[in-house]
Amino acid sequence: KLRKMAKGASQVLLATDPDREGEAISWHLAQALGLDDSKPVRVEFQEITKKYVKDAVKAPRMIDMDRVNAQQARRVLDRIVGYQISPLLWAKIKKGLSAGRVQSVALRLVSEREEEIDAFIPEEYWDISADFSAGISRQGKTPLRAKLSAVNGRKTAVKDEKSAFRIRDRIQATAFKVGQIKRKKRIKAPAPPFTTSALQQEASRKLNFTSSRTMQVVQGLYEGVELGVEGSVGLVTYIRTDSVRVSAEAVSSARDMIERTYGEKYLPKAAREYKASGRAQDAHEAIRPTDAARTPDSVKTYLSREQLQLYRLIHSRFLASQMQDAVYETFTADLISEGVTLRYYAEHKTFPGFTALYEEGTDENGQEIQSSLPDFREGDPVRILDILTEQRFTQPPGRYTEASLIRALEEKGIGRPSTYAPTIGTILSRGYVSREKKKLYPTQIGKMVNAIMLDYFAPVVNLEFTAQMENRLDEVAEGKTGWKSILREFYPSFREMVENAESKLEKVEIPDEVSDVPCEQCGAMMVYKMSWYGRFLACPRF
């Protein structure tokens, strides 16, 4: 059909996605349609809006063969690894398993975190704090609370109940007064606009979306939504990016919107510029609304619930990234006695700045910070109202969530914006990892596959090796390295690994996991089996 249409056209332009995969698809289309790829047949746009598309069509370029070759190198590398290790896992363990250059590293991270948790030995410690009032000021119904800071001039870790009670008795037995007071101003700057991984993380934290769901929904926002008389409009810019750069035109539009909506005091004197990390391929802008003036409320009647949630997140983050800093007043006071120091800390937001619109979520539960800024002075007497001693234990590192695993992959230079969601989807669908209440756990089979990969294919799951391979692919895209040279460097030693595993790895029998669901035909308890589409229930007698 495409060949027929191309033959009848005066000009054919290839407008696939503006990334390496898109460039490779354009090259393949040029071959399939018999186009002259030495001529300017390629157009690309970061946003699907009338102006951007018209401008791009006026300025076609030649296909970038360096980007095509970088994608080809990645494709061949991934197939060399996947096509040679996966059949080995089928033969030695069970059918339906797979290995891959990026997925196996992701599985390793999840498995190693579980090993850290299993090996963790909790250590006891005690928190000591005191409720107090000071001077003649009235603090309201809620007393102020200070935490133990030092004993005999040194920071002290309280390890056991006996020590805790001894310090409690000292606090009870001595008179405290207010020591040094520090008042400071704290400035908090907004987060940059979204990259792909930042969007996936924030949608997980705030909307409870999986990474694959986030990409499905945002793809629709990028491709276009019917907005009544306006027709189909792409609401956000290109969605696979690791850049935080934004066009001058978009910044200007955002600043106009901020001034109109919030007033001049919420607008910094100069536009904010954000710098990408060293590894970012600054080819695309950050993910932002194509028109800052198109508010979520103005389009909500045309969007599904999930589309509206995600568009609101992208729009708010983008506008906030160009808003004024939030300002806090902080207050620190030492309460001192004979050899014991308690410390009171509070902060109060004096100007909301960007937080009037948006605040970035976190994976950790932060401690609640007191907001009372009392008016007592140095030397004022302190009245201790209550002393609290609480036994605690150190906690193991938390299991990965999709959000924190994506962040870890990005920080370690593993994979690209387009690979995060499919990678996590693969290790879940293969049954290597299970997800419970957002937390990722390696399964028995996941641990086994990871152990085999570490024993026989250590370089393939080596984090530094995988990150370095990404750098080498970048060099191909930049025209600094030939794509075949990367394969020549990799293949001989990899083939030796495969042959070694084929000869030494013994077949492992894994009994199927039994479920608590009876078979409706014979009553036997069903078992979990794997297919290309994930886990399913099957009768063991079938």
Q: Supply the residues annotated as catalytic.
A: 238
Distance, in Å, from the CA atom of 272 to the CA atom of 318, rounded to the nearest integer, reads: 11
Look at residues 134, 188, 12 and name the one whose alpha carbon lies nearest to residue 384: 134
> For residues 104 and 377, is the Cβ–Cβ distance under 8 A?
no
CA 194 to chain centre: 10
Distance, in Å, from the CA atom of 71 to the CA atom of 77, rounded to the nearest integer, reads: 10
* H-only helix segments in 208-295: 211-223, 248-262
Distance, in Å, from the CA atom of 24 to the CA atom of 30, rounded to the nearest integer, reads: 10
Strands (DSSP E) found in 189-339: 225-226, 232-233, 326-336
Distance, in Å, from the CA atom of 150 to the CA atom of 147, rounded to the nearest integer, reads: 9
Distance, in Å, from the CA atom of 251 to the CA atom of 260, rounded to the nearest integer, reads: 14
Cβ-based neighbours of 26, under 8 Å, separated by 6 or more: 14, 16, 41, 42, 63
Look at residues 322, 311, 321 and name the one whose alpha carbon lies nearest to residue 235: 311
Cβ-based neighbours of 237, under 8 Å, separated by 6 or more: 46, 47, 222, 284, 285, 286, 287, 288, 289, 290
According to DSSP, the residues that pair with 328 across neighbouring strands are: 186, 349
CA 301 to chain centre: 30
User: Which stretch of DSSP H or E encloses residue 159?
Assistant: none
What's the angle, vertex CA 476, arms to CA 470 and CA 482, rounded to 5? 125
Residue 261 CB coordination number (10 Å): 13
Q: Where do we find the tokens 């605040």?
A: 359
Residue 122 CB coordination number (10 Å): 10
Q: Where do we find the tokens 């059918």?
A: 95
Give me 148's structure tokens: 């133990």
What is the largest distance, in Å, between two alpha-carbon atoms of the chain? 96
Q: Where do we find the tokens 């999840």?
A: 110
> For residues 167 and 339, is the Cβ–Cβ distance under 8 A?
no
Distance, in Å, from the CA atom of 117 to the CA atom of 114, rounded to the nearest integer, reads: 5
> For residues 407 and 87, is the Cβ–Cβ distance under 8 A?
no
> For residues 380 and 216, is the Cβ–Cβ distance under 8 A?
no
Cβ-in-10-Å burial (0-12, 13-18, 19+) of 227 comes to middle
